[in-house]
Chain A
Amino acid sequence: AQKVTQAQTEISVVEKEDVTLDCVYETRDTTYYLFWYKQPPSGELVFLIRRNSFDEQNEISGRYSWNFQKSTSSFNFTITASQVVDSAVYFCALSGKETSGSRLTFGEGTQLTVNP
């Protein structure tokens, strides 16, 4: 069965620090898709990135970067020079044929608090 693990329940940093959120996944699919979503206090899940299992290139978008390593089944997310507005719960998610359709399997989430 598919599974996503985010071992860090809560992380607290001071503004301008770099922070990495870990995500480890399990799946029997050879083709699968990984996602990161941000959930601010308002509750809406905001899409950040999608990565397919064949593309192991790291991605950078502004202060955000993602490191996908198939060998360790990890898809980690780094925020550089964190800001107070980055405070939110971050979810890693997985989809693939194992569960069919677009059904997402989510990790437990990591609560990130950035203090001024």
Chain B
Amino acid sequence: KAGVTQTPRYLIKTRGQQVTLSCSPISGHRSVSWYQQTPGQGLQFLFEYFSETQRNKGNFPGRFSGRQFSNSRSEMNVSTLELGDSALYLCASSLGGVSQETQYFGPGTRLLVL
């Protein structure tokens, strides 16, 4: 079974621009979660989608948004980029998105904001 895939793997943007990251979950998985990893803040939860609905949201500003499609693929968007948005963005998928399930992570997208 193919793992979680994320595109693009690397991205360079400038302040003020917007960016869209994509995540394809493991086949059959309906829950997709996004995490931001920075050296200063560590791994932080952004949001979770299940059946095209945002089910859980972390403590991030409204510039961070996401969506999920009917095939469970998910995208996250960051508008008006700031230098502090430079991070590794990780996507994870699980079957139903309940706490006892294991989340499987993709390789991440490294975003650099200049």
Contact = CB atoms under 8 A, between A and B. Distances in A.
Interface string A90-116: 010001110111111111110000000
B68 to A, nearest CB: 14
Contacts of B33: 102-104
Contacts of A37: 105
Nearest to B46: A103
Nearest to B108: A43
A109 B42 contact: yes
Interface SS, B side? strand
Interface string B33-75: 1010000001101001010000110100000000000000000
A-side interface size class: 20 to 34
Contact of A104 (B50, B103, B106, B107): B103
Given A33-B100, A108-B42, 13 more contacts: A43-B108, A44-B107, A45-B92, A45-B105, A91-B43, A95-B100, A101-B48, A101-B50, A102-B31, A102-B33, A102-B48, A102-B99, A103-B56
Interface in A57-116: 91, 95-97, 99-109
Contacts of A100: 55-56, 99
Contacts of B58: 103
Given A35-B102, A103-B48, A104-B103, A43 B110 contact: yes
